[in-house]
């Protein structure tokens, strides 16, 4: 789908959808506790959340044969459930779309090779077969915290104690804190160590009380629009949340001030598109997003896509090996840009349109369904002028 957005500010109050990161974790905990995970009728039911729900159902269906788990484009679904499938069913066949199977899985594979667990990728499917055993699990902390979360969910189900030993500093620590919060709520004991985590075996998931929170990751786009002059109020955010992207609030405050700004996004890489579009319109001032190398491993290479697409609209951004340099301009001109089949790039461009002088055309606008299915409806409800057009589009090879 292509959308054409006429210039104009947004206005009103908006409540972001429930946190996708939290929804994945709550669903897995509910399933492991034996609770109903039937489809809810709420806005958290994005493509990624449906993938996790469907995969969990598959884990409890059938006997004997390895389950087939359709992960869509959800890296969280894949990485969270690989260890769970090994613990519960002796493995599974995981299928993905887009760039999913190209995203790194080596931290798991190195562990599996030492345990006799087989792994084989064929095209868009990955088959793992074997059983997790209690023991030591060395993991790098700077590839993705999702590997830590997947093991934290699975290791309590084993018979004996296990240790997750971090071999490098843990990035995106907030997401692991969110996992630990969900585990505590379910009565699962995890001891934090200087070098990782100790996980006793033989545990059972119990009833929990945690509810869903509004998503700081999605709120960041409305906060960016507000910083660019749209009179928006963003409601429903918990200031005491464990969400790593809660740092969006102080980061946007820094961008609201004068002078050069340097923002470290090692712990919150998903904020990069929203921060970049806000920084792009700080006339005559510069900003740099640093420790941004993991952006290359997302739905597309965001470190390349962010400057490529904002520059098409008149921005002045430069891509570095692991940083973005952003020189603020007075205005954007409008033009044609592409989402790269990435939900966050599409939403970034929608925010850019609020301060463009001409129409902004966004190809691949349907990609928002991955995390924010009603984004365009909400955008219009806030006064955005959006014209939709279906498009013939080749499969993205980004």
Candidates 215, 245, 270, 338; catalytic one:
270
Contact (Cβ atoms closer than 8 angstroms) between residue 78 and residue 71: yes
Three-state DSSP string of the chain: CEEEEECCCCCEEECCCECHHHHHHHHHHHHHCCCCCCCCCCCCCCHHHHHHHHHHHHHCCCCCCCCEEECCCCHHHHHHHHHHHHHHHCEEEEECCCCHHHCCCHHHHHHHHHHCCEEEEECCEEEEECCCCCCEEEECCCCCCHHHHHHHHHHHHCCCCEEEEECCCCCCHHHHHHHHHHHHHCCCCCEEECCEEEECCCCCCCCCCCCCCECHHHHHHHHHHHHCCCCEEECCCCCCCCCHHHHHHHHHHHHHCCCCEEEECCCCHHHHHHHHHHHCCCCCCEEEEECCHHHHHCCCCHHHHHHHHHHHCCCEEEECCCCEEEECCCCECCEEEECCCCHHHHHHHHHHHCCECCCEEEECHHHHHHCCCCHHHHHHHCCCEEEEECCCCCCCCC
270 is catalytic: yes
Q: Cβ contacts of residue 13 below 8 Å, gap of 6+?
A: 232, 233, 234, 235
Cα 142 to Cα 140: distance, rounded to the nearest angstrom:
6
Catalytic residues: 270
């Amino acid at each position: 789908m292509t959308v054409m957005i006429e210039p104009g500010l947004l206005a009103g109050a908006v409540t972001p959808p429930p946190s996708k990161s939290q929804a994945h974790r709550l669903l897995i905990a509910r399933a492991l506790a034996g609770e109903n995970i039937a489809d809810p009728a709420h806005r958290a039911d994005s493509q990624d959340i449906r993938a996790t729900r469907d995969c969990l159902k598959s884990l409890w269906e059938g006997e004997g044969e390895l389950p087939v788990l359709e992960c869509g484009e959800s890296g969280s679904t894949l990485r969270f459930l690989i260890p769970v499938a090994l613990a519960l069913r002796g493995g599974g066949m995981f299928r993905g779309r887009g760039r999913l199977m190209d995203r790194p899985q080596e931290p798991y594979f190195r562990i599996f090779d030492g345990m006799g667990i087989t792994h084989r990728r064929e095209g868009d499917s990955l088959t793992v077969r074997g059983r997790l055993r209690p023991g030591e699990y060395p993991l790098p902390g700077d590839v993705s915290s999702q590997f830590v979360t997947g093991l934290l969910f699975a290791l309590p189900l084993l018979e004996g104690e296990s240790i997750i030993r971090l071999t490098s500093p843990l990035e995106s620590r907030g997401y692991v804190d969110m996992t630990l919060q969900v585990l505590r709520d379910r009565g699962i004991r995890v001891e934090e160590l200087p070098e990782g985590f100790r996980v006793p075996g033989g545990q059972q998931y119990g009833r929990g009380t945690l509810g869903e929170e509004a998503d700081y990751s999605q709120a960041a786009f409305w906060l960016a629009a507000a910083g660019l002059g749209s009179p928006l109020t963003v409601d429903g955010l918990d200031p005491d949340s464990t969400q790593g992207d809660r740092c969006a609030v102080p980061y946007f405050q820094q961008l609201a001030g004068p002078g050069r700004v340097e923002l470290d996004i090692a712990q919150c890489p998903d904020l990069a598109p929203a921060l970049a579009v806000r920084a792009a319109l700080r006339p005559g001032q510069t900003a740099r997003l640093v420790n941004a190398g993991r952006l290359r491993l997302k739905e597309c290479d965001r470190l390349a896509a962010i400057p490529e697409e904002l520059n098409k609209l008149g921005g002045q951004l430069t891509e570095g090996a692991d940083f973005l340099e952003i020189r603020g301009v007075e205005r954007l001109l409008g033009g044609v840009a592409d989402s790269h089949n990435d939900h966050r790039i599409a939403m970034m461009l929608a925010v850019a349109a609020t301060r463009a002088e001409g129409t902004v055309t966004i190809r691949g606008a349907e990609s928002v369904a991955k995390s924010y299915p009603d984004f365009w409806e909400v955008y219009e409800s806030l006064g955005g002028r959006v014209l939709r057009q279906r498009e013939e589009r080749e499969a993205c090879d980004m």
